[in-house]
Amino acid sequence: MKDYRITLLKSQDKQLKEWLTGHPEHHERGALILFRRFSRPVNGLPESDRFVATEIIEMKEDWILGSSESHFKINMRKFPDIYLRCETENLELGFIHNHPNGYPDFSEHDDLNEKNILHGLSGCNGPSSFLISMILTDNNWIARTRQGIEPEIALKPRHISILGDSIELYGVRMPDELPANLARQEIAFGKPFNAKLQSLRVAVVGLGGTGSPTATLLARTGIGELILIDGDVLEKSNMNRVRGYKGFDVGHKKAESLLAFIKSLELNVSVSAITDYINGEVIDALSSADVVLGCTDDILGRDFMNQALYYYGLVYIDLGIAGNVSKDELENPFLHSQKGRVSCILPESGACLRCQGVVTDQKLSDEQKFKDNPELRKLDAETLKKDYYIVGAGVQSPGIGSFTSATADNAVATLMNLITNFRKLPPDLRQDNIWIDFINMSIHSNNPLNNPECIYCRKRNILLASEGKYRLGIPQLGKIPRHV
């Protein structure tokens, strides 16, 4: 069995804890969880499945034949309908219960229950079926997984992740020895912090002015697995603002060059490079990640990532730079405005990129027109608006290294805050949308659109939904590989 990770939403965590601990006589209680399994390999990284919880079934009434403070007896005749759902909907089964007496590990009775359930599951759905077992004990989650092909073997996960407005990580394996470069982080944030970072798989999409400093800082911070994604080659004009590249990298793929640089640092990080724009391979890589940082100015790519965070139950941090150059009365140019944005969105927390106005149908249309006719970029904003219905063009966002790097630093600090909660935001700032104004030296948040019909962050129509045949339900991204 491969390495794996478990993800639950905070609402699911709350429902489970309230149900499991709510027995009037403090007896053990149980529940079933249906999981989506994401097992899409990433070249260069060890195989690691993600089991993302999609539905909770409380085991009540005729599910239970008897219970006490130390055990409960399950009605096995109730399971065939669940096995059928797992088979027809391509789901994996989770069995969850609590230990009211505080027993800190799995018991012999738990072994028996798991093997009985797995025997029926693999008999109906085949020996490749998984059973994910979780126990709530002393308000702490522990877990292990068995597979029908080797039912005697039970493996613990890399971590159990609970996603609300932060990232709670349970079951993280503590290292025997702390790397010297992370000692000061341990002093600042405590002993488990570095181990939690080490357990994460993080993808960075776009490796230019914001993406390259983001990726290199993540590696130095102690992220365990890093996926570098960019289809561009490095240009000489990029060198004022990128990090980790050398002169001989000009003309070569950014992802490959940055991968070589990070490997040369000899840090405890596994790195993979994808030298392409967002396509099926990239979407598969995103589904395998715990956290995605979007550092691209591609609006369509941002739209795909905005969808991926909901389908796959991801943490998404999007970076942006906005600014323009004006001229004074003597026609001398000056930097009129320059801002850096970090949008931090979790599946049940924060406004999506569409509600934040980062992605709009107008911007998507404008971007496509520029792709179809690059010569349009030479026209002034008024002509573009009048003759081509392109709105908002002509605004310059000069790539200046100190501003792109500062935005990247803020994004990595945002990820660290999701794990440690060290920030104390004033009431006028929103975690999902923070702008730094580098000219006026101020920090502010924009209020999102009040759109109760938003299918992403309000109605949540696609939250942990089935993709159907195609990645993100979009035919142009290709069919989902079998068994993943």
CB of 332 closer than 8 Å to CB of 402: no
Structure confidence at residue 391 as a pLDDT band (50, 70, 90): low
Does pLDDT of 243 surpass 50?
yes
Residue 140 one-letter amino acid: N
Give DSSP secondary structure letters for 434-480. EEEETTTTEEE-PPPP--TT-TTTTS-TTTT---TTBGGG-GGG-BP
d(CA 405, CA 392): 25
- pLDDT confidence tier of residue 57, bands split at 50, 70 and 90: very high
Residue 479's beta-bridge partner residues?
A: 470
Say whether 405 sits in a helix, a strand or coil: helix
Concatenate the DSSP letters of all residues of 347-370 into one string.
TTBS--TTTTTSS-HHHHHHHHHH
Q: What is the pLDDT of residue 389?
A: 55
C-alpha 113: how far from chain center = 33
Q: How far apart are CA 444 and CA 384, in angstroms?
A: 31
Give helix 211-221 / helix 254-264 axis angle, nearest 10°: 30
- Confidence at 372, pLDDT banded by 50, 70, 90: confident
Distances (CA, A) of 363 to 177, 233, 298: 49, 24, 10
Q: Structurally, what CATH architecture does the domain formed by 180-477 represent?
A: 3-Layer(aba) Sandwich (3.40)
Percent of the chain with pLDDT over 90: 83
For the cut 70, the answer to whether the pLDDT of residue 51 exceeds it is yes
Q: Token pair of 375, please?
A: 């010569």
Confidence category of residue 384, pLDDT binned at 50, 70, 90:
low
H/E run at residue 15? helix 10-20
- Residue-level pLDDT at 358: 96
C-beta of residue 3 within 8 angstroms of C-beta of residue 48: yes
Distance CA 292, CA 308 (A): 10
Q: Residue 242 — pLDDT band, cuts 50, 70, 90?
A: very high
Please report the pLDDT score of residue 332 as a whole number.
Answer: 84
Per-residue model confidence as pLDDT tens digits over 273-290:
999 999 999 999 999 999
Mean pLDDT of the chain: 93
In the structure, what pLDDT confidence band is assigned to residue 390 with cuts at 50, 70 and 90? very low
Q: Where in 287-332 does DSSP place strands (E)?
A: 291-294, 315-327
User: 110-119, 347-356, 365-374: which range is least confident on average?
Assistant: 365-374
Q: What is the average per-residue pLDDT within 240-245?
A: 95
Q: Does position 447 have pLDDT exceeding 90, yes or no?
A: yes
Is the confidence at residue 477, as pLDDT, over 90?
yes
Name the percent of the chain lying above pLDDT 70. Answer: 95
Locate 311 and state its tokens. Answer: 């389908």
Nearest-angstrom CA–CA distance, 285 and 191: 30
What percent of the residues of the chain are helix, what percent strand, and what percent coil, each to the nearest 5?
35, 25, 40
* Distance between CA atoms of residues 113 and 108, nearest Å: 9
- 3-158 placed in CATH 3.40.140: yes
pLDDT at 175: 84
Residue 24, phi then psi, degrees to nearest 5: -60, -25
pLDDT at 270: 97
Count Cα neighbours of 455 within 13 Å in the Cβ-side half-sphere.
Answer: 7
Which tokens hold the place of 155? 């493996």
Question: For the chain, where do the domains classified as CATH 3.40.50.720 start and end?
Answer: 180-477
Structure confidence by residue, pLDDT tens digits, 172-196: 998 888 888 899 999 999 989 999 9
Neighbours of 105 (CB within 10 A): 10
**394 pLDDT above the threshold of 60:** no
Query: What is the rounded CA–CA span in Å between residue 417 and residue 355?
Result: 23
User: 188 CB contacts (<8 Å, ≥6 apart)?
Assistant: none
Domain with CATH 3.40.140 in the chain: 3-158
Question: pLDDT value at position 324?
Answer: 81
List pLDDT tens digits, range 200-239: 999 999 999 999 999 999 999 999 999 999 999 999 999 9
pLDDT digits (tens, 9 = 90+) for 250-259: 999 999 999 9
For 85-127, write each residue's pLDDT tens digit.
999 999 999 999 999 999 999 999 899 999 999 999 999 999 9
User: Which residues lie across from 225 on neighbouring strands?
Assistant: 201, 270
- pLDDT the model gives residue 374: 80
